């Protein structure tokens, strides 16, 4: 099973997210991550959807998304031709005897400490999916109290823009 990232421009209305999520659940597809936000045009939102499967599953998902009236454009983002980032907030146990090691691990991943208490640290990390996974695995032995991940946000590299594709339709 390969991981794919789809980018979709959708109308910025109430209920669009529900219809997209419903499409996935009705067909038994799993969404690994879903990031949605308004674009520079307040009438449009960008959905970045990470899914796992093979090429046939991806093609089916893309076709089903394109059938929804509120979905204007859907693009598969190739990893080599796009920039992807994810944000993670990780609250990890860091008593005095292991705090230096936790700080060093965070530093290696260029993560920032955003909150400190006597027994734990909250770390903010950004990067691709693999980088975040690796940081979490290295912090796991210290004890992760809480974890929040945003899901992937992606844009195509260079001057290519999904918004330009919309103007061609």
With beta carbons less than 8 A apart as the criterion, state whether 9 and 162 touch.
yes
Q: State the pLDDT at residue 168.
A: 57
Contacts of 10 (CB under 8 A, 6+ apart): 16, 20, 44, 45, 46, 47, 70, 71, 72
Q: State the pLDDT at residue 99.
A: 96
Sign of CA dihedral 51, 56, 57, 58: positive
CATH of span 83-153: 3.30.70.1150
Helix (H) or strand (E) holding 133: helix 129-139
Q: Furthest-apart CA pair in the chain: how many Å?
A: 60
Number of helices (H), then strands (E), belonging to the chain: the values are: 5, 9
Contacts of 153 (CB under 8 A, 6+ apart): 35, 37, 48, 84, 85, 86
Q: State the pLDDT at residue 165.
A: 62
Q: In the chain, what are the domain boundaries?
A: 2-77, 83-153
Helix (H) or strand (E) holding 125: strand 120-127
Q: State the pLDDT at residue 166.
A: 63
Q: State the pLDDT at residue 169.
A: 56
**May I ask the CATH architecture of the domain 2-77?**
2-Layer Sandwich (3.30)
pLDDT in tens, the chain (169 residues): 788 999 999 999 999 999 998 888 888 888 999 999 999 899 999 999 999 888 888 898 999 999 999 999 999 999 899 999 999 999 999 999 999 999 999 999 999 999 999 999 999 999 999 999 999 999 999 999 999 999 999 999 988 777 766 665 5
């Amino acid at each position: 099973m390969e991981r794919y990232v789809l980018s979709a421009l959708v109308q910025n209305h109430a209920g669009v997210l529900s219809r997209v999520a419903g499409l996935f659940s009705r067909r038994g597809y799993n969404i690994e991550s879903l990031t949605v936000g308004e674009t520079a045009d307040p009438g449009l939102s960008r959905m970045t959807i990470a899914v796992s499967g093979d090429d046939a599953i991806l093609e089916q998902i893309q076709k089903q998304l394109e059938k929804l009236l509120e979905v204007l454009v859907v693009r598969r983002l190739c990893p080599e031709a796009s920039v992807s980032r994810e944000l993670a907030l990780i609250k990890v146990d860091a008593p005095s005897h292991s705090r230096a090691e936790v700080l060093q691990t965070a530093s290696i991943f260029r993560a920032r400490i955003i909150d400190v208490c006597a027994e734990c640290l909250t770390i903010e990390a950004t990067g691709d999916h693999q980088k975040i996974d690796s940081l979490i695995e290295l912090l796991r032995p210290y004890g992760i109290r809480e974890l929040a991940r945003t899901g992937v946000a992606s844009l195509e590299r260079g001057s290519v823009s999904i918004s330009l594709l919309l103007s061609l339709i």
